[in-house]
């Protein structure tokens, strides 16, 4: 596989850059980028099970381009969504749990006015805003920390938009947030 050139995961350039990024803020022990988790599953010969069509589409893009992808149900947001450093007191119920597991102070999170939606960029998603079969308005994201992969990132955005439109009949708008473009209107 193109993005699994090294037997040792820590030397894989795609994974190495995310591990370096995660070292710049406090994380839960063992937290790794979502793309590392997907690539490890594939490398071990494990299948990526189906979740729902929208999640399956963004997982396929994540694997095709080796970029972390995620998604949330916009209609479940409370107030504005932001990517920021956590205060450490945000409510967060992760997928597969019923217990509050707030982020660490300074951890990079997506959050709204109610609490955290994703921890460590999109490493761990919340139950409250997860995509379901009933989702009609979704926020899908692809994350990039390696500026040398800008062209792949742009192709991944276009492919994700096209797959959603072609397979689910959705309409979309592509926006890129960065240091020069820090805010967009969702909805």
**Is residue 106 a part of any domain in this protein?**
yes
Is residue 116 within 8 A of residue 102, CB to CB? The reply is yes
**Is residue 1 a part of any domain in this protein?**
no
**Is residue 4 a part of any domain in this protein?**
no
74 pLDDT tier (thresholds 50, 70, 90) = very high
**Is residue 182 a part of any domain in this protein?**
no
Comparing 39 with 78, the larger pLDDT belongs to: 78
In Å, how far from its chain's centre is CA 45?
22
Which of 32-41, 107-116, 154-163 has the least mean pLDDT? Answer: 32-41
CATH of residue 56's domain is: 3.50.40.10
pLDDT at residue 124 greater than cutoff 80: yes
Is residue 125 within 8 A of residue 117, CB to CB? The reply is yes
DSSP 71-89: EEEGGG--S--EEEE--S-
Domain boundaries, position 70: 9-168
Helices (H), the chain: 13-22, 34-43, 53-65, 150-168
**Is residue 65 a part of any domain in this protein?**
yes
pLDDT at residue 32 greater than cutoff 90: no
**Mean of the per-residue pLDDT values of the chain:** 91
**Is residue 53 a part of any domain in this protein?**
yes
**Is residue 2 a part of any domain in this protein?**
no
Q: Tell me the angle at which helices 53-65 and 150-168 cross, rounded to the nearest 10 degrees.
A: 160
pLDDT at residue 3 greater than cutoff 80: no
pTM of the model: 0.91
How far is 137 from 11, CA to CA, in rounded Å?
Answer: 38
pLDDT at residue 173 greater than cutoff 70: yes
In Å, how far from its chain's centre is CA 24?
18
Give the number of domains in the chain: 1
Q: What is the pLDDT of residue 161?
A: 97
Q: Which residues contact 70 (CB under 8 A, 6 or more apart)?
A: 34, 58, 118, 121, 122, 125, 140, 141, 143
Portion of the chain with pLDDT greater than 90, in percent: 68
Q: Which residues contact 15 (CB under 8 A, 6 or more apart)?
A: 9, 32, 33, 35, 36, 39
**Is residue 178 a part of any domain in this protein?**
no
Q: What is the pLDDT of residue 187?
A: 64
Q: What is the pLDDT of residue 5?
A: 60
175 pLDDT tier (thresholds 50, 70, 90) = very high
The per-residue pLDDT for range 75-108, each reduced to its tens digit, is 999 999 999 999 999 999 999 999 999 999 999 9
10 pLDDT tier (thresholds 50, 70, 90) = confident
């Amino acid at each position: 596989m193109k993005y699994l050139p090294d037997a040792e995961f820590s030397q894989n350039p795609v994974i190495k850059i995310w591990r370096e990024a995660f070292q710049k803020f406090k994380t839960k022990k063992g937290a790794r980028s979502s793309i590392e988790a997907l690539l490890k599953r594939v490398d071990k010969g494990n299948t990526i099970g189906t979740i729902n069509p929208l999640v399956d589409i963004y997982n396929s893009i994540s694997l095709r381009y080796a970029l972390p992808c995620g998604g949330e149900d916009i209609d479940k947001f409370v107030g504005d969504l932001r990517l920021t450093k956590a205060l450490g007191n945000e409510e967060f119920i992760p997928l597969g749990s019923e217990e509050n597991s707030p982020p660490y102070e300074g951890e990079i999170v997506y959050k709204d006015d109610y609490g955290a939606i994703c921890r460590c960029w999109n490493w761990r998603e919340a139950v409250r805003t997860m995509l379901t079969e009933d989702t009609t308005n979704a926020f899908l994201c692809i994350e990039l920390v390696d500026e040398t992969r800008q062209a792949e990132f742009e192709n991944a955005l276009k492919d994700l938009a096209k797959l959603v439109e072609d397979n689910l009949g959705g309409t979309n708008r592509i926006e890129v947030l960065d240091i020069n473009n820090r805010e967009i209107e969702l909805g």
